[in-house]
Each structure stands twice: as C-alpha cells, then as structure tokens.
C-alpha cells in the first residue's frame, strides 16, 4: 500500500482548521495531517460575516447547519446595507437574492428601467424577496416552496474551535508550539519545521496558514507580495465587541465615514463592530473616536488594532508550500469574502492536490486561478469606493478621481452606456450584485435593451405588480429573524 502524503498545516485559526478539516474529510484516507499552532499566538478572528458560497462548502465537507450555527452564536445574513457610500445620508442594499425574473435576452433591471420610463415600477428593491425580508427583519430558510439565498454572521474564534474539535475527532493531529526554524532541502522545498520546544515536524506538503506574517511562503521562501494599496488605500482597522441592545438584524451594515467605513455584525449574544480606514487620511486616535462614537451598547472587549496591506502573494503555491488565507493575500472585509477565499482555495487545492511526480503544472494552474479570483474581488471592492459622489474629504476625493483597473472601467462604461451587466469571470458576484452596487451608488444607464419593449406597457405593469405582490405576501408569512433563530439554532452558551 502506498504511503500516505504527509501534510503539515502551519497555523490555526479559521484558515488552519478549515484547511485541516476539509482535507481530512475529503482526502483523509490518502493523507497524514498534522496542524501546528501556538496558544500564545492569537488569530485575527474579526471577520464574522460570510457570503452564501459558505453553505455550499459546508455541504461539501459535511457540516450540519444547525449544529454549526449553535456552536458559533451565528445569525442569518441576507445581504449588506450600505450607508453614506454614494452620497452622505443615502442608503442602498446589496442583497443575496435574485431580483425579479430575467429572460435570456435581457436582465430584469432592464425591464424595470422600461417601466420607470413609462411612469410606473416603483423601486427595484420591490422585486427581491431577500431584500424585502431583510428590511422587515424577517427570516426563514424557505418562503413557502422557495428557498432563500442567505449566508451567516458568526463568531470566528468559536468557528475555529468548532472545526478543531471535528478535525481532531476525524484524525488530524495537533501539535502545540511556536515555529522557530524552517529547514529546506537541496531543491528548495520545505523539509521540516522546528518548534520552540525543540521538536521537529517533517512533511511532504506544507500549508501556510500563519496569517499576515506568511512565515513559510514569505519569510522562508521569499515569495513576493503585490501591493494594491494604490487602488485600496485602507491599511488599518480597529475592532471591538459590544452587548446586543436590539434583536439581531439579518444583514450586515457597512457605514461609510469621512475616511473609511464601519461594520456592524449582529450575533446571537453580541455585536461585532469595527472601522476600516487609511492611516494616510485618518489617525488611529481619530479612527478610534469615530468608531466608539458610533456603536450601540456597552463594550465587552478592548478595541483591537490591526494593520494590513491589501494585495496578493505573487505565487500562492511555490515549491511544496501552499498559502491559504491571509498568508496568500488580503482584501478588506467590505463584501465579506475572507472565508470564501479560504474555501475556494481549498476546493482548488483538493482538485489539484500533488500526489507525487512533477507538480509544476499543478501549481501554475493553482496560481493562475487564485490570481484571477483575487483580481475579480478586488475590482468589485474598488467599485464601492470609486463610484461615489462624495467630495467632503480628501479620502473620498482620492477615490472618486483615481485611476481604476481597465477591467472595472470597461464594466462601468458598459453599464452606464447600455445597462449591460454580466457575472464576473469566477462566478462569484452575480449580475444582480453588480447592478445593485452600481445603481445604488448612482450609476444610472443612459439606455437599456429594447427587448423590454416587446411587452405592452399594460402587460409589463401587470406582471411587475403581480411579482411585487407575491414577494410582499411571502415576507408577511415569514417569522421574525430572532424568533426563527430561537427555534432553529439557539446558541449553546448564550
């Protein structure tokens, strides 16, 4: 029988334990998996909002939704409310649901644009079940026979602990210790790591989950980092937890300030808060004052400072080392993609896993797909900043007037001239996602597809009224978000 491939996961937290658990559940018969972490090193653990792709990944690795949510104090998320992004005192919603009913030729927003030109149609928001449910603070996994598209808010530290327990039961070995030295062989591959207690851990494949430091991929293998701060200026964040003073809303709030933005993420037992900002435009003291002046409820943790550089590792897979999570790159949490990028990297790794022989082509493909994905998410995040009419501060003036990637400029121009929108190249952000952000921040099309005029105004109005009425009726039938949580997944230790 062929010997098992020895995999060493360096680092714990969400990235490390999600890596270990995924590999042991899907490839466990072929792998010998060891995770090395130190209790002395805390994880970043502030990213507590997710996107719907997490549900698909959980099904892949056999995670029970109710069990996971109870263990992580999780609530449901139907989208993100953006306040003050297009202009001050304006708000819009990026929901996870489908808007209206599309045809093969034209998207629903183009029919809506035709309706508005005819003098009816109301708000585009009227045609999305998830959006209307979120605003009403209602939730259920199903509305009648229609499933809702949703994600989660979760306690990241509890999530890592939950995954650790499941991983160790499934056969992952955990070794406590701080990495002191890394030994490479004559080919440049990593052969082993030495811990502060003097023990040595050898392996065939090393997965770097050591966070921003990139202990294996950066400090040892010296893979360069591509800095994107000329497009995404934020380099700092402060996070703090507060007591819950209201029932949890089924959505994340992203509230723009004069030099950054604030998140508000409701869990079952508390609220996660934080501010993301650029030290070029705002001091740490000013950022802390802004954050603490805009929270609800008493604080239950000390504010925690984070520093980062937005960008990506030029190779996420180099030699026999694969970087997963923050060690491979970082995109700020505006669209809650951090855990998603971990899970897609893991799916990619499992499909391309190196079981011996020449792995050069496998690593090339992994790196190519990783780069495309990160650049796609980058463009979507830049869109939020660049597409603003705010000129009340140097921060917003910088974003409003800066040069943007050609790929994003083309997409914005196509929408502005012709209302044409399309999914991104990695099928992450759907047509409706691009439309909601572009229109929510004031980019309105000059014209739209003529196919929307194939219906008579009377017929178009009847169909849109019927759709809106159906959605409103469905929302009235849904329970309150907090009530559904109480019966479906109450926290184990709330």
Which residues are tagged catalytic? 77
For 194-203, the CB contacts below 8 A with 24+ separation are 195/36, 196/38, 199/175, 201/8, 201/34, 201/36, 201/175, 202/6, 202/8, 203/6, 203/7, 203/8, 203/34
Cα of 425 vs its chain's centroid, Å = 17
Strands 31-37 and 5-10: parallel
Q: Assess contact for 343 and 19: CB atoms under 8 A.
A: no
Residue 375 tokens read as 């650049």
DSSP assigned state of 43 = -
Phi, then psi, of 266 in degrees rounded to 5: -85, 125
Angle at 77 between CA 26 and CA 165, to 5 degrees: 35
Which DSSP symbol is given to 217?
A: I
d(CA 466, CA 264): 35
Strands 91-95 and 79-83: antiparallel
Upper half-sphere CA count for residue 31 (Cβ side, 13 Å): 28
Residue-wise DSSP of 246-295: SPPPSSEEEEEETTEEEEEEE-SS-EEEEEEE-TTTS-HHHHHHHHHTT-
Question: The tokens 């590792």 sit on which residue?
Answer: 313
- 211 neighbors 259 (Cβ within 8 angstroms): no
d(CA 376, CA 392): 29
Residue (of 257, 234, 219) closest to 84 by Cα position = 257
Q: Name 67's bridge partners.
A: none
Do residues 423 and 411 make contact, with C-beta atoms less than 8 angstroms apart? no
Distance CA 321, CA 217 (A): 7
Q: Residue 479 has which token pair?
A: 């329970």
The C-alpha atoms of residue 211 and residue 326 are separated, in whole angstroms, by: 5
Please count the other Cβ atoms lying within 10 Å of the Cβ belonging to residue 112.
25
Contact 93/134 with Cβ under 8 angstroms? yes
327: closest CA among 237, 227, 215? 215
Nearest alpha carbon to residue 211 among 36, 20, 43: 43
Distance separating the N- and C-terminal Cα atoms of the chain:
48
């Amino acid at each position: 029988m062929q010997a098992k491939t020895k995999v060493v996961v360096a680092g714990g937290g969400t990235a490390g334990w999600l890596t270990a658990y995924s590999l042991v559940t899907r490839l466990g018969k072929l792998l010998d998996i060891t995770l090395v972490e130190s209790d002395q090193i805390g994880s970043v653990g502030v990213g507590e909002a997710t996107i719907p792709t997490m549900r698909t990944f959980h099904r892949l690795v056999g995670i029970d939704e109710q069990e996971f949510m109870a263990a992580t104090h999780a609530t449901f998320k139907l989208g993100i409310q953006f306040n003050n992004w297009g202009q001050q005192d304006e708000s819009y919603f990026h929901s996870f649901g489908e808007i209206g009913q599309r045809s093969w030729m034209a998207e629903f927003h183009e029919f809506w644009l035709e309706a508005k030109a005819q003098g009816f149609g109301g708000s585009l928001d009227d045609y999305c079940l998830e959006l209307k449910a979120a605003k009403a603070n209602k939730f259920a996994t199903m509305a009648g026979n229609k499933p809702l598209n949703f994600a989660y808010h979760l306690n990241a530290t509890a999530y890592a602990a939950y995954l650790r327990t499941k991983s160790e039961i499934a056969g992952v070995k955990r070794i406590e210790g701080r990495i002191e030295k890394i030994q490479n062989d004559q080919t440049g591959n990593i052969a082993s790591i030495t811990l502060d207690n003097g023990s040595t851990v050898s392996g065939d494949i090393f997965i770097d989950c050591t966070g921003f430091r990139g202990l294996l991929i950066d400090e040892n293998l010296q893979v360069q980092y591509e800095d994107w701060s000329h497009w995404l200026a934020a380099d700092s964040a402060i996070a703090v937890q507060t007591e819950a003073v209201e029932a949890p809303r089924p959505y994340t709030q992203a509230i723009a300030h004069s030099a950054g933005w604030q998140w508000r993420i409701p869990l079952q037992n508390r609220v996660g808060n934080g501010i993301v900002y650029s030290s070029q435009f705002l001091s740490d003291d000013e950022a802390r004052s802004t954050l603490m002046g805009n929270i609800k409820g008493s604080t239950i943790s000390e504010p925690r400072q984070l520093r980062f550089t937005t960008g990506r590792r030029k190779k996420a897979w180099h030699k026999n080392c694969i970087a997963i999570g923050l060690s491979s790159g970082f995109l700020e949490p505006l669209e809650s993609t951090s855990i998603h990028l971990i899970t897609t990297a893991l799916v990619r790794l499992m499909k391309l896993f190196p079981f011996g022989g020449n792995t050069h082509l496998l690593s090339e493909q992994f790196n190519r797909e990783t780069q495309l994905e990160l650049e796609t998410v980058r463009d979507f995040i830049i869109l939020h900043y660049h597409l603003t009419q705010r000129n009340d501060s140097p921060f917003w003036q910088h974003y409003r007037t800066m040069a943007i990637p050609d790929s994003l400029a083309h997409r914005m121009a196509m929408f502005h001239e012709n209302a044409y929108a399309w999914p991104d190249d990695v099928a992450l952000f759907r047509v409706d996602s691009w439309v909601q952000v572009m229109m929510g921040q004031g980019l309105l099309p000059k014209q739209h597809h003529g196919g929307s005029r194939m219906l008579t105004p009377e017929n178009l109005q009847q169909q849109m009224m019927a759709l809106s009425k159906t959605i409103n009726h469905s929302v009235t039938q849904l329970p309150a978000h907090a009530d559904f949580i109480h019966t479906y997944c109450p926290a184990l230790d709330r």
